[in-house]
Chains A and B, each alone.
Chain A
Amino acid sequence: MNARQNFIGQSVLRREDGRFLTGRGQYTDDIVLPQQAYGVFLRSPHAHARITSISTTAAEAADGVVAIYTGEHFKAVGGLPCGWLINNIDGTPMKEPRHPILADGKVRYVGDRVALVVADSIDQAKAAVALIEVDYEVLGAVSDVAKAAGAPALHDESPDNRCYLWSIGDKDGTDEAFKTAAHVTTLTFRNNRLVPNAIEPRAANAAYNPSSEEYTLYVANQNPHVERLLMCAFVLGIPEHKMRVVAPDVGGGFGSKIFLYGEETALVWASKQVGRPIKWTAERSESFLSDAHGRDHLTTSELALDKDGKFLAMRVHTQANLGAYLSTFSTAVPTILYATLMAGQYSTPKICVTVDAVFTNTAPVDAYRGAGRPEATYTVERTVETAAHELGIDPAELRRRNFITTFPYATPVGLTYDTGDYNATLTRALELADVAGFAARKAASAEQGMKRGLGYSCYIEACGIAPSAVAGALGARAGLFEAGEVRVHPTGKVTVFTGSHSHGQGHETTFAQVVADKLGIPMEDINIEHGDTGKVLFGMGTYGSRSLAVGGTAIVKALDKVIAKGKKIAAHLMEAADTDVVFENGLFKVAGTDKSVPFAQVSLTAYVPHNFPHDKLEPGLNENAFYDPSNFTYPAGSYVCEVEVDPATGVTRIERFTAVDDFGNVINPMIVEGQVHGGLAQGIGQAMLEHGVYDDEGQLISGSYMDYTMPRADDIPHFTVETAKGTPCTHNPLGVKGCGEAGAIGSPPAVINAICHALGIKNLSMPATPHVVWQAARSAA
């Protein structure tokens, strides 16, 4: 049998589990270096204030204090860079104020870094932080995206607090189409601010070696090479080859560990000053204040339909909160990753999206699981479902009338979908969810005084980020390829180095399945290495559901080179022509004969090249590849949520949640399902529980697990998840699409649609807590 059937498509149990289940994982905070010192940051208690003076005299005299640094020390280094330039409608560039490592005369959000104390112990550092005296002149603050324009300016270069006013699509054509509409559905809503809350808090440990003049940074991060590049080239001016960044085991990221933060940057700089390694681990309350948050949009959407329910045009206006400073990819999230998805699964001919992005006195907002695409899906799927109810058309039927059915399909907002079958996933989701039996269940609920509702969401997303040329044309200041290296050892064992980074995704298993399949060798003979710039040639990291589609493909390309060279070595050994050699199930064979040599004999020959085609080949068997995709991948699916609402209390239970996803080909179904489960829980968390709330003075009032409702096991329903047979991606050799974010992208509108349906209401704000639902039920009654 073909070895392919042994590995690809199998739910192979994870190889990384053993160390995590026995306490042998090694996360950043687990690392203690010789002469270890500890860093603690003094953070601003004010949302907006001028620093009139800082006195560190008493703190410096405290026990165990090694050094104290403030913004003064960082005046000479760069600010944290923003990786994506967005231009205004008038062609001028966005406002890009300096993002200092430590506050430079002014603080702009609660939690802004004011000083770094380095001490022999954490307790000593904390005690010294309390002795730093800072005089603040408190200024007016704004946290609400809708109030930013008239509020006191955060940055001198942006008196109206606007970062950019950006637009995509055919404005005039869209406006014209609206004039011909038989019906227009209009909806205004917020996409609630979320705090990512990876359970491992951010952490870093920076060391400087004076003999080699090299820095080593251990950091909880999703893309160590990007971290190194940004920190070296744009901030600290450290030669890139004198810096090693290691992202060891990382306890979840969800986007929040993509970015270059000031904390680790300050630590790296200070580690050379003090001549000792410095470790900092965020406390949870610190994570709430200082991790980049997600979402926080205020949107009005309009959908124009003809008399038959065909979509004519969509017009969207979004105000996006970027927080106090521009985090690494913040500017791309409400634009490139949001507005380009506004076609959804539909052939809407005209679309125009305008985005007004503002600064506020809140933590910076950046990519969080889905990053723009959940906001787009919420906009499209809430609006479509509302239109269906307004027109009295079954929401599934209205969607079918408007599905894109021929591919490739160029949307009016810049993307070209390569493949998909939206009818298939919707049909299957309706079956699995037993929508046919809904009326009976609704009647049974009504007998108990309960309200039952059904909500749909047919999402599409663009992931596998990204074709570098496309991203560059859209303002990206980085390439978005991926790198991989296949190092075949003399004995035929294989070490694979990938620029992707696993922080829960299971690359050590999935990638090994791909390699085992291609080389026809056991998985035990394969090691997957990632997360260390000292080992891995290069990498752009893991975010945007790109690891397998981009990183996996880079490995496949390197494997192809290994096999091609192996064929030549085998041909020499078998005295055959290169072109007559085929590679199957770990054997190099002369086609049409019984002659063969195993993979390990070829690898041994490569490293012990006594009988070797030296005239044609170099010894060794070690290949690398860089892969830059030609398009995004477009996973899509249909989600059905069924809720029961108690109108007396507002308590809402998700009775059924059905997800059918098309991820193209699947390497490990178990891992893919697990990714969907996790995404769904985060999406349901957004819809029903989670909310990062700032008061009008800019204080984060949901700043701990006592206030911010994290989804717990008993908040989350049992999901019915199915991966459709699917439409393989047309432009990567594995035929795979990304699966990491889909659940978080598709689920929030399904939940809200279901609650609105149950209560017979048009609109409901997230999170739909019992209080919110109870109020809505009362006003509907």
Chain B
Amino acid sequence: MSMLTLTVNGKRVKREVSPQTLLTDFIREHLRLTGTHVGCDTAQCGACTVHLDGHAVKACNMLAVQAEGMALTTIEGLAGADGTMHPMQAAFNACHGLQCGFCTPGMVMSAIDLVKHHPHATETQIREGLEGNFCRCTGYQNIVRAVQQAATA
């Protein structure tokens, strides 16, 4: 077992983990933050996307111990302390950018990273930028609209 220390949604967390524990399992099973989802076993679907030190990463593709000393933000950590949603969350609601909600946390985390790096992305760039996140419900059109709206918020 290894000792893992990191910041999770702004709070310092210290836990013992097995070195082979995936970051997704650490988030879901150890921390019980179940907003981060697992939709595949080949790092394709992106439902597990979280932020580590401000960068979007697929948590299924990392070991928990690799997050040592880093700042982890999950979907639960996006809204303000008073419950005000992040502009990207609000835009997904306003644009009907989600249906079943399962891909949504990962999609929102990826979209925030995308807008941060490409604040003036075109529709084509947004579609290419979200290539690592599957959505089976929406056909992506309203997700693209949401990202465009959040980028101008």
Residues of A within 8 A of B (CB): 13-14, 16-27, 29-30, 32, 197-201, 249-252, 254, 283-285, 503-506, 670-671, 673-674, 677-682, 704-706, 710-714, 716, 718-719, 743
Report whether B99 and A504 are in contact in the complex, using a CB–CB cutoff of 8 Å: yes
Partner among B33, B92, B128, B140 whose Cβ is within 8 Å of the Cβ of A17: B92
Contacts of B143 in A (CB 8 A): 713
A–B complex contacts, Cβ < 8 Å, 5 sampled: A22-B89, A23-B34, A199-B37, A674-B142, A713-B126
Contacts of A29 in B (CB 8 A): 34, 38
Question: What residue of chain A has the Cβ atom nearest to residue B36's Cβ?
Answer: A23
Partner among B42, B96, B128, B137 whose Cβ is within 8 Å of the Cβ of A705: B42
Report whether B134 and A199 are in contact in the complex, using a CB–CB cutoff of 8 Å: yes
The complex places the Cα of A25 from the Cα of B35 at a distance, in Å, of 7
Partner among A504, A677, A704 whose Cβ is within 8 Å of the Cβ of B100: A504
If A682-B136, A714-B124 touch, whether A22 touches B75 (CB-CB below 8 Å) is yes
The complex places the Cα of A25 from the Cα of B89 at a distance, in Å, of 14
Central interface residue in B40, B108, B126, by most chain A CB within 10 Å: B40
| Closest-CB distance, B8 to chain A (whole angstroms) | 13
**Interface residues of B, dominant DSSP:** loop
Residues of B within 8 A of A (CB): 28, 32-42, 44-45, 47, 74-76, 78-79, 85, 89, 92-94, 96, 98-105, 108, 123-124, 126-128, 130-131, 133-144
Contacts of A201 in B (CB 8 A): 38-39
Report whether B78 and A674 are in contact in the complex, using a CB–CB cutoff of 8 Å: no
Report whether B142 and A677 are in contact in the complex, using a CB–CB cutoff of 8 Å: yes
Report whether A678 and B139 are in contact in the complex, using a CB–CB cutoff of 8 Å: yes
The complex places the Cα of A13 from the Cα of B91 at a distance, in Å, of 11
A18-B93, A681-B136 given; 10 more Cβ-contact pairs under 8 Å: A13-B93, A17-B101, A201-B38, A674-B96, A679-B139, A682-B136, A705-B42, A713-B130, A713-B135, A716-B140
If A681-B139, A705-B40 touch, whether A249 touches B130 (CB-CB below 8 Å) is no
Contacts of A503 in B (CB 8 A): 100
Report whether A706 and B108 are in contact in the complex, using a CB–CB cutoff of 8 Å: no
Question: What residue of chain A has the Cβ atom nearest to residue B29's Cβ?
Answer: A32
The complex places the Cα of A13 from the Cα of B42 at a distance, in Å, of 34
Report whether B96 and A504 are in contact in the complex, using a CB–CB cutoff of 8 Å: no
Report whether A17 and B39 are in contact in the complex, using a CB–CB cutoff of 8 Å: no
Partner among A254, A505, A680, A706 whose Cβ is within 8 Å of the Cβ of B44: A706
Partner among A14, A23, A671, A677 whose Cβ is within 8 Å of the Cβ of B76: A23
Report whether B75 and A677 are in contact in the complex, using a CB–CB cutoff of 8 Å: no
Report whether B136 and A197 are in contact in the complex, using a CB–CB cutoff of 8 Å: yes
Shortest 4 CB-CB contacts between residues of A and residues of B: A23-B35, A251-B102, A20-B101, A504-B100
Contacts of B130 in A (CB 8 A): 712-714
Report whether B85 and A22 are in contact in the complex, using a CB–CB cutoff of 8 Å: yes
The complex places the Cα of A388 from the Cα of B98 at a distance, in Å, of 40
Report whether A21 and B104 are in contact in the complex, using a CB–CB cutoff of 8 Å: yes
Contacts of B101 in A (CB 8 A): 16-17, 19-21, 25, 249, 251, 504
Report whether A718 and B35 are in contact in the complex, using a CB–CB cutoff of 8 Å: no
| Closest-CB distance, B44 to chain A (whole angstroms) | 4
Question: What residue of chain A has the Cβ atom nearest to residue B25's Cβ?
Answer: A122
Contacts of A16 in B (CB 8 A): 101
Central interface residue in B44, B75, B105, B137, by most chain A CB within 10 Å: B137
If A22-B85, A200-B39, A284-B42 touch, whether A250 touches B100 (CB-CB below 8 Å) is yes
Question: What residue of chain A has the Cβ atom nearest to residue B92's Cβ?
Answer: A21
Report whether B42 and A704 are in contact in the complex, using a CB–CB cutoff of 8 Å: yes
Report whether A21 and B89 are in contact in the complex, using a CB–CB cutoff of 8 Å: yes
Contacts of A671 in B (CB 8 A): 96
Contacts of B85 in A (CB 8 A): 18, 21-22
| Closest-CB distance, B21 to chain A (whole angstroms) | 10
Partner among B35, B40, B98, B131 whose Cβ is within 8 Å of the Cβ of A284: B40
| Closest-CB distance, A735 to chain B (whole angstroms) | 23
Question: What residue of chain A has the Cβ atom nearest to residue B44's Cβ?
Answer: A705
The complex places the Cα of A670 from the Cα of B138 at a distance, in Å, of 12
Contacts of B139 in A (CB 8 A): 674, 677-682, 716, 719, 743
Report whether A678 and B136 are in contact in the complex, using a CB–CB cutoff of 8 Å: yes
The complex places the Cα of A30 from the Cα of B35 at a distance, in Å, of 9
Report whether B141 and A718 are in contact in the complex, using a CB–CB cutoff of 8 Å: yes
If A27-B37, A678-B138, A716-B140 touch, whether A200 touches B45 (CB-CB below 8 Å) is no
The complex places the Cα of A254 from the Cα of B33 at a distance, in Å, of 27
If A17-B92, A23-B74, A251-B37 touch, whether A677 touches B138 (CB-CB below 8 Å) is yes
Question: What residue of chain B has the Cβ atom nearest to residue A677's Cβ?
Answer: B139
Report whether A199 and B135 are in contact in the complex, using a CB–CB cutoff of 8 Å: yes
Report whether A252 and B45 are in contact in the complex, using a CB–CB cutoff of 8 Å: no
The complex places the Cα of A20 from the Cα of B76 at a distance, in Å, of 10
Partner among A21, A27, A677 whose Cβ is within 8 Å of the Cβ of B98: A21
| Closest-CB distance, B82 to chain A (whole angstroms) | 13
Report whether A21 and B103 are in contact in the complex, using a CB–CB cutoff of 8 Å: no
| Closest-CB distance, A645 to chain B (whole angstroms) | 19
Central interface residue in B123, B136, B140, B144, by most chain A CB within 10 Å: B136
Contacts of A706 in B (CB 8 A): 42, 44
The complex places the Cα of A614 from the Cα of B108 at a distance, in Å, of 56
Report whether B135 and A284 are in contact in the complex, using a CB–CB cutoff of 8 Å: no
| Closest-CB distance, B60 to chain A (whole angstroms) | 10
The complex places the Cα of A262 from the Cα of B105 at a distance, in Å, of 30
| Closest-CB distance, B88 to chain A (whole angstroms) | 9
Contacts of B96 in A (CB 8 A): 13-14, 670-671, 673-674
The complex places the Cα of A19 from the Cα of B101 at a distance, in Å, of 9
Contacts of A26 in B (CB 8 A): 34
